[in-house]
Each structure stands twice: as structure tokens, then as C-alpha cells.
Structure 1
Amino acid sequence: MSATTIHFVRHGQVYNPEHVIYERLPGFHLSNTGRRMAETTGRFLSLNPATQGVAAIYSSPLDRAKETAQIICDEINATRQEEEHDPLQLAFDNRLIEAGNEFRGKRIGKGEGALWRNGNWRLLTNLMEPSWGESYQSIAQRVRDFAYEQVDRYPGQQIIAVSHESPIWSFRHFLETGRPEHNMLMRGTALASVTSITFDDDSKKVLGITYADPAGGCAGRNTLFTIVGKL
């Protein structure tokens, strides 16, 4: 039986001193800590025997994801150069983009432009179904389309996909429960973490889901590698 694993990586920490809800806005880049996170996760992916031999790396087109993916790509290629493997080439896919959000440009906090001013709070009618933006069903569907396409394109191999918290968790929740709807406050997708999903190439059945937080030390978290689910 042939199986393909896709490693969904959340981008690293963003430099955002004004606490803006940046969503799909341009110009939000990794902080210094975020770059260290990406470097740490890149080394984890390049050196861990369980994640060797990556065939392709994709990224959301947003700045923070592109920067994270490029750093990871560079880390892997540095190892590959030593082992005389062909270098990876970073590609972009819009299906990995952050969820649409009507709060984009608002600030978390007080003052002009704050989230809670001008009646914005009225959009928060149900945390399980984001009345403030793109539905969880839509998010999970586009990530599933991406994943199934990669399984067909790279059977038996490993892929890296750098994305965002909502797309990664919505898809995972869909695979584990049969529905993408969830409480956004209960997600388990830390910055620069790796959610690895293994698919049977023929049936697309999920064979296992693992989670790693190699960059946890950069942000004061303690978890390094935890298997949290297996189907």
C-alpha cells in the first residue's frame, strides 16, 4: 500500500505591534522570533528521519507564509546540498490562504479602529460558525482539494504546505470528526507547528495524523513532538 504525507506548517510569529487583525492584508512580515521559529521548524523537517525526502513545498501567497516557507525551503536545501539531492523549489497555492475575515484591519484592544467599536461585536453570533467571514465548510473544502491533488501528483511521497491556523485546523477537524465547524478558541495549531496527515494513495483514506511543535522553545512553549491522533 502506497501512502502520501502532507506536512501542514503554520507560519511563524508576525511583527504586529499595533495588534491589527491582518487576515489577508499585505505588508505583515515575520518578526525576528518568527524567523527563528521558521528556522527551527525547517531544521526539524530537514533532519528528522520521519520527514526526510520531501518532494515539494507549497505556501499560501501571503507574506508571513511565504517567508516561513522560504526559510524552511532553504534549511532543507542546505541539508540536501550536503547529500547531493536536487533542491526544492517553492510554489504557491491560493487554496492555502488565510480565511476571509470581515474584521480585517481592526485592532484587538481599545481606541479608534478597535474590534469592539461601531457594532463589530454583533458579527460574533456563533463561534462554531464564523458569521464574521468565510465558512469553515469552504475553508476545509479548498484545503481538501489541495491535499487530494497533491496525493495524486506525488503518490508515496511527502509534501510541505505552509498555511495558517484556520485552514489547517478546519481541515484536520473535518477529517477527525466529519465536520469542519469548531470553537476557534480550542484550536491546537501553534505558530510554526507541523500537522502531518498521511493518506492512502488509492482511497484517500486518512491513515494517521501527528502533530509536532518544534519551535515551541522560541515562544516559551515546552512541547517538541506529540502524537495526538491516529485514525
Structure 2
Amino acid sequence: MTPGILTIHLVRHGEHDLSPGLLAGRTPGVTLSERGIEQARRTAERLARAGGIAAVYASPLERTARTAGILGERLGLAVETVDALAEIDFGDWIGRSFAELDEHEDWRRWNHFRSGTRPPRGETMSEVLGRALGFIEELIRGGPRGSAVLVSHCDVIRAVLAHYLGMPQDLLLRLEVAPASVSTVEIGPWGPRILRINEEP
């Protein structure tokens, strides 16, 4: 690893055990399904082969903590919980069905105009991106040299990738981020370079 370069592996949690028809958001108690556990194990093997990983950080939600725990065990690293990597606060939408949400104008607006829409009693994409990038900036300034794994959620990862790609946040749904996938960004004095997006285990 060249001095002054940080490589971050953005890992989405594995498949969770909540009905796919519901918006999990920050619902407590949502952990990994059996398939999600297997996905995380395969991702752990892939990251172990990459080498050079010095730290694992995770969102505090159960499904990310479980995924990160599987990764950390394989890599021989303790997992540090980071609130900045948490799922979007979807406010009043949390736990509701997508079929129900599709009937609401504010939900449809959210999915077409992320940069200018706030979920009711939730947070904006700008706020999500701000906290995630703030943590990454901390790593750049004083984190471990080498590579770090950040275990987070689909739209949080999409927001970070869109930012480094120079994409408007309103287009982030064009990026696919599958369960337990790895997206890798190298950040050096010249700026960011996207090495991979949505590499599935």
C-alpha cells in the first residue's frame, strides 16, 4: 500500500430475515437470514484474499453488525461500531410495506428527487451523505493505513459511490448494490478512484 492512499471496501449487509415487501429501515431486531449468513461468509473469504485490511467498521443495526462480525472473525479483526454508517432514517416510513408506500406522493417523489425530499420525520440524502463522508474523512486524516472495510446499507453505499463518481444524488438508483456485495474506492492525493462496484460474493 502506497503511503497516503486509503482503500475502503464498502460492504452491504447480507440478506436479512424481514419480509422483502417491507421497508426495514432502522427496525430493531432485523438480522441476517440463513442465506445472508452464507453471503457474508463468502464475502469474508473474498476480502481475506484481498489482504492488507487493517480495520472493520459497521453500522450499529443488527444485520450490519452480524455481517461485520463474520468478516471480522475471518480477518482476525475486532469490529468498531460507527453511527455514521447507519441506515437512512426513514422516519414514518419505517416498517411499512412498499405496496402501501407506492400509493403516497411523497414516497414517489423521494425515489425521483432524492436531493430535495425528506421522509416524514426522517433525514435527507444530503444528511446521510454528510455523515458517511465525515467518517471517511476521519479515516483519511487519522485512520489505519492500508485498507478498511465499512459495512453499511444499500442507499448509504450508493450515496457515497455517487459522490465519488460525480453523479447527482437523484440518479443514485442507477447503481446496483446487492446484499453482501463489495464496492471499492481508493482515495489518494489525486482524489478518489473507483476500483469496483457491486462485486457480489
Q: Tell me if TM exceeds 0.5.
A: yes
Q: Which residue of 2 aligns with 1:169?
A: 158
Aligned residue in 1 for 2:48: 46
Q: Does 1:158 align with 2:160?
A: no
Q: Cα RMSD over matched residues?
A: 2.1
Where relative contact order (Cα < 8 A, 6+ residues apart) is larger, the structure is 2
Q: How many percent identity over aligned positions?
A: 24
Higher helix share: 2
What amino acid does structure 1 have at the position aligned with 2:96?
K
Q: Do the aligned residues in 1 keep the contact of 2:165 with 2:194 (CA within 8 Å)?
A: no
Deviation track 1:69-126 (CA, whole Å, cap 9, x = no partner) reads 001111222xxxxxxxxxx1111000000011131021233xxxx3356xx4444325
Equivalent position of 2:86 in the other structure: 97
1:17 shift after superposition: 2.9
Name the larger-Rg structure: 1
Structure 1 residue 151, shift from structure 2 partner: 1.8
Q: Quote the Cα distance in structure 2 between the aligned partners of 1:171 and 1:5.
A: 14
Unaligned residue ranges in structure 2 (runs of 5+): none
State yes or no: 1:206 paired with 2:192: yes
Residue type of the alignment partner of 1:13? E
State how far apart, in whole Å, the 2-side matches of 1:4 and 1:90 are: 18
The secondary structure found in structure 1 opposite 2:26 is coil
Aligned to 1:108: 98
Structure 1 regions of 5+ residues with no counterpart?
78-87, 216-231
Quote how far apart the aligned CAs of 1:25 are: 1.3
Following TM superposition, where does structure 1 have runs of at least 4 consecutive aligned residues deviating by more than 6 angstroms?
none
> What is the TM-score with the length of structure 2 in the denominator?
0.86
Taking structure 1 as the reference length, the TM-score comes to: 0.76
Once the two structures are TM-superposed, the CA of residue 185 in structure 1 deviates from its matched residue by 3.6
Q: CA shift at 1:189, angstroms?
A: 1.0
2:109 aligned with 1:125: yes
Count of residues in correspondence between the two structures: 193
- The reply on whether 1:31 has 2:33 as its aligned counterpart is yes
